[in-house]
Structure 1
Amino acid sequence: MSKVPALELNDIHKTFGDVEVLKGISLKAYDGDVISILGSSGSGKSTFLRCINMLENPTKGEIIFNGEPLSLKPGETDLVAANMKQLTQMRQQIGFVFQSFNLWPHMTILENVMEGPANVLKRPKNEVKAYAEHLLNKVGIADKKDMYPSQLSGGQQQRVAIARTLAMDPQVILFDEPTSALDPELVGEVLGVMRNLADEGRTMLIVTHEMNFAREVSSEVVFLHQGLVEEKGTPTQVFENPQSERCKGFLSSTF
């Protein structure tokens, strides 16, 4: 294993007006790590995830990708990218799967998956098409490639979103509660795809409320409370022997 983390976050703070949502979160992810980020609503999980690739600008902190610090400078209230080219390159290597799918409604499923590698990475169209079809097969919806997002169930749309992210060949994938917008009977099909990615050795940070899934696939579990890391460790440590009373209370209310 490389001794340089694929992703390193140091002392990440985020303030919205007078409210400090993140109060100094640090985390390291090495290649192949699957880190589940748990916590009650309002604990800062999604905000932290969005700060990693600057969808939210952190107020303070350091983001290091493959040993290279992201160049940041003070803006009006938060840090902003000092080098947009560097930020763009980093974003291309950090995939993001949203809870609300964010597919392009006017494009077919196949076109959605092809868009990034064809237009951003400028790869040959025939090569991109073949790879996109391979990925749709991988997530179990190859037969839907000529349909439009509105014709698919939520679970199918989320699997397209995962395929679209994989099409960019990211080194790290961030998942922001990828099953929270789904009907309960559709959750399993998305978790199954994610489980396969974990088995492949993909590096993933997952904000999730799916406790059994987190317990099964994670190499590390991080529990956030009021904008801080309240507890972290292996799934066995966190789920079977939590040290924090807040973590114990959270887990007892979810199982």
Structure 2
Amino acid sequence: MSQTNNALVLDVQDLHKSFGDLKILKGISLSLYKGEVISLLGSSGSGKSTFLRCLNLLETPDSGKIFLNHEELALKKGPKGLIAKNQKQLQKYRSKVGMVFQSFNLWAHMTVLENVIEAPIHVLGIPKKEAIETAEKLLDKVGLLNKKDAFPNSLSGGQQQRVAIARTLAMNPEVILFDEPTSALDPELVQEVLKVIQALAKEGMTMIIVTHEMDFARNVSDKILFFHQGIIEESGTPDEIFTNPKSERFKQFINHIK
């Protein structure tokens, strides 16, 4: 998977973010290649989720640069950090960089199918018939075609998260950001979501995943980055980083998780 055709998709340079006097990100840089899966590990508060949210401007970084397919996301100073200079460019960027949240964020008043077709129709301008055909294929892919007319509150957490993944895929993104996609789930529902993400990795989807699932990260990732106090403390392939960790903090982290 990793860098097979060497196409750089997402390039993040020296990202900083503070909340008041608290520095959360202290200069994070990351290069993500087509078909590559990068997992972000680290204890709570290390900056992983904030980094992911900054990538979609759901949080405003204080400084840094973000490029998608070598095109820089134009940013300017806002009241609390950097904001998009051009809303049209931001909308296009967000349609290419999908995000799956830990809390599903489905629209409760819409059926499963309506949740999946909403953005393709209204953001991408796809005809409704085509959007429905695509949505049904994606719901089948995540094992939920039989639930297309159900409402989210009738589904388990694992089912809701699989719908959220189908909804993200319906935008045909180039990159998917997963922010702890299983952390809100009961333990017995975790695997059904991880299986869907593993299948996407096998198909060559380009992804960044914040996760606490060590075995999953080891199996699915081309590269792992360990965040600690706002910096990347250690990085490498799963074999390098788990077999021969160099950082004492990372050794403590994996021993603690075990």
TM-score band w.r.t. shorter chain: over 0.9
* Structure 1 segments unaligned to the other structure (5+ residues): none
TM-score between the two structures when normalised by the length of structure 1: 0.99
Q: Which one of the candidate residues 61, 73, 76 is aligned to 1:73?
A: 76
Q: How far apart in 1 are the matches of 2:189 and 2:38? A: 23
- The answer to whether the aligner puts 1:126 opposite 2:140 as a matched pair is no
- The answer to whether the aligner puts 1:145 opposite 2:148 as a matched pair is yes
1:186 — aligned with what? 189
TM-score between the two structures when normalised by the length of structure 2: 0.97
1:16 — aligned with what? 19
Contact 2:60 2:80 in 1 (8 A): no
Q: Helix, strand or coil: the match of 2:28?
A: strand
Q: Name the stretch that deviates more: 51-60 or 1-10.
A: 1-10
1:102 — aligned with what? 105
Q: Helix, strand or coil: the match of 2:219?
A: helix
How much has 1:61 moved relative to structure 2? 0.4
How much has 1:2 moved relative to structure 2? 4.5
Contact 2:6 2:34 in 1 (8 A): no
How much has 1:201 moved relative to structure 2? 0.3
Moved over 6 A (4+): none
Q: Which one of the candidate residues 246, 252, 255 is aligned to 2:255?
A: 252
How much has 1:77 moved relative to structure 2? 3.5
Q: How far apart in 2 are the matches of 1:180 and 1:159? A: 14
Contact 1:136 1:160 in 2 (8 A): yes
After superposition, the CA RMSD in angstroms is 0.8
How much has 1:53 moved relative to structure 2? 1.1
Return the letter of the residue paired with 1:63.
I
**Structure 1, residues 199-240: CA drift from partner, whole Å, max 9, x if none?**
000000000000000000100000000000000000001111
Q: Which one of the candidate residues 220, 225, 228 is aligned to 2:228?
A: 225
Q: Helix, strand or coil: the match of 1:24?
A: strand
**Structure 1, residues 148-206: CA drift from partner, whole Å, max 9, x if none?**
00000000000000000000000000000000000000000000000000000000000
Q: Which one of the candidate residues 172, 177, 183 is aligned to 2:175?
A: 172
How much has 1:119 moved relative to structure 2? 1.2
